[in-house]
Amino acid sequence: MTALDIDFVRAQFPAFAEPSLQGQAFFENAGGSYTCRQVIDRLIRFYTQRKVQPYAPYEASRLGGEEMDKARARLAALMGVATDELSFGPSTTQNTYVLAQAFSKFMKPGEAIIVTNQDHEANSGPWRRLAEEGIEVREWQIDPQTGHLDTAQLENLLDEKVRLVCFPHCSNVVGEINPVAEITAMAHAAGAFVCVDGVSYAPHGLPNVDELGADIYLFSAYKTYGPHQGIMVIRKALGELLPNQAHYFNADSLYKRFTPAGPDHAQVAASAGMADYFEALAAHHGHAGTAAETGAFVHDLMRAHEVKLLQPLLDAVSDRNNVRLLGPSRAENRAPTVALSLNRAAEPVAAQLAEFGIMAGGGDFYAVRALDAMGIDPAEGVLRISFTHYTSEAEVAKLIEALDRVV
Ligand SMILES: Cc1ncc(COP(=O)(O)O)c(C=O)c1O
């Protein structure tokens, strides 16, 4: 496998050349990533040249609409799904609320859903509220020590009443990569659909949703080098079954069915810049192929770089007895989203790290249920260090040195 050309990568992100950010290494990427220049360029172009109502028969409008359509088509192709199966909403949280609304009409009282206590609240709370409609909510619980979700436990929760299983591809505090294809196959065998929160996974390489088999796959563009949008993949078979949540006359359009509000035209159009970036990355590293092959190539390229940088950090933190590392200590099994429980409030520690040029955060990161389950006071929270493929070896070394001083 070709090694990632980190200089090329960083040249695609204006933040790395921004004078006010010099000397500061960014380690809160799970909160929101830097934006690639392809997205910024498209956003500026849309606001300066195409800021008219799209899909009308004059040139600026036609171009605006075309860019919005291209964004969906190109991202869908990278993820191995049809264009109509990908849609945009204001955020992943908003998207799950709309989907939960659809399921509340689709399901009958007495039927069941499964949620986890590993998830960010976005893929948990909206579904749990279905209890108010008479839906039985079953919780797939993590191991209190490790934060691990055991598929054997899921087997015990599945039966013919379950219509939906909601779980994360990767938790934003535990970091462990869950076996989505295996979990999905188990749910399908029991007659249930799955809704996968991919927000903490997608920035580390877009998955091929067709290969995973997931019925719904959600992620947030603003954590994946793009603008502030939530992106939903809803496979056709399920999308056509669920009741329409949009205007009645849009019911026949799969990509409009679960986006009741008008789209943010400029941000949808700018999302094509994410595809530009992934394609530029593939081309720069000598890859040519179909969109799905390009998606897979970029995924593996990013992952290999991240795994290489992550192991020394995991080794450094798991050696300490005053730090509890959440999730696996082997880099292959996790995303580079590393939460540390310190037995004291985490945010002041993040503030100390800032003095050493490290941008990181402390808190509960809306994973309150996961922290509670692992015996961590959400008010104290965890120190979270998260990076992506654009992070350099030197930045990780600087982080380890700063942690040595502060923790
Ligand atoms: C794992 C995970 N899921 C969902 C969300 C919610 O995403 P959004 O901010 O787009 O609603 C977040 C945001 O932090 C997250 O980390």
Q: What is the pTM of this model?
A: 0.98
Ligand 1 centroid from CA 384, angstroms: 15
Q: Is residue 272 scored above 90 in pLDDT? A: yes
d(CA 201, CA 336): 10
User: Residue 167 — very low, low, confident or very high, per pLDDT cuts 50/70/90?
Assistant: very high
Q: In what order do the strands lie in the sheet with 324-325?
A: 324-325, 337-341, 382-386, 361-363
301 exposure class (CB count in 10 Å sphere: 0-12, 13-18, 19+): buried
Substitution candidate for ligand 1 out of 98, 115, 120 with most atoms within 8 A of CB: 120
- Cβ contact 171:370 at 8 Å: yes
For residue 268, is pLDDT > 90? yes
Can you give the pLDDT at residue 2? Answer: 87
Instruction: Evaluate whether 398 touches 25 at the Cβ level (below 8 Å).
Output: yes
Cα(163)–Cα(65) distance, integer angstroms: 37
Of 172, 219, 231, which is best to mutate to test ligand 1, by the most ligand atoms within 8 angstroms of its C-beta? 172
> How high is the pLDDT of residue 354?
98
Atom 5 of ligand 1, nearest CA residue: 122
Residue 266 has pLDDT above 80, yes or no: yes
Q: Can you tell me whether residue 24 is helix, strand or coil?
A: coil
pLDDT of residue 146: 97
Please state the atom number of ligand 1 nearest to the C-alpha of residue 119: 1
Name beta bridge partners: 167.
196
Question: Which atom of ligand 1 lies at the shortest distance from residue 93's CA?
Answer: 11
Q: What is the 3-state secondary structure (H, E, C) of 119-186?
A: CCHHHCHHHHHHHHHCCEEEEECCCCCCCCCCHHHHHHHCCCCEEEEEEECECCCCCEECCHHHHHHH
Specify the pLDDT at position 261.
87
Q: In angstroms, rounded to a whole number, what is the distance separating the alpha carbons of residues 242 and 105?
A: 8
Mean pLDDT along residues 125-130: 98
Pocket of ligand 1 (CB under 6 A): 30, 91-93, 120, 122-123, 168, 172, 197, 199-200, 220, 230
Per-residue pLDDT reduced to its tens digit, 278-322:
999 999 999 999 999 999 999 999 999 999 999 999 999 998 989
| Average pLDDT for 169-190 | 98
- Ligand 1 centroid vs 174 CA: distance in angstroms? 14
pLDDT band at 171 (very low <50, low <70, confident <90, very high): very high
The per-residue b/e assignment along 359-376, b for 16 or more CB within 10 angstroms, e otherwise, is bbbbbbbbbbbbbebbeb
Distance 361 CA to ligand 1 centre (A): 15
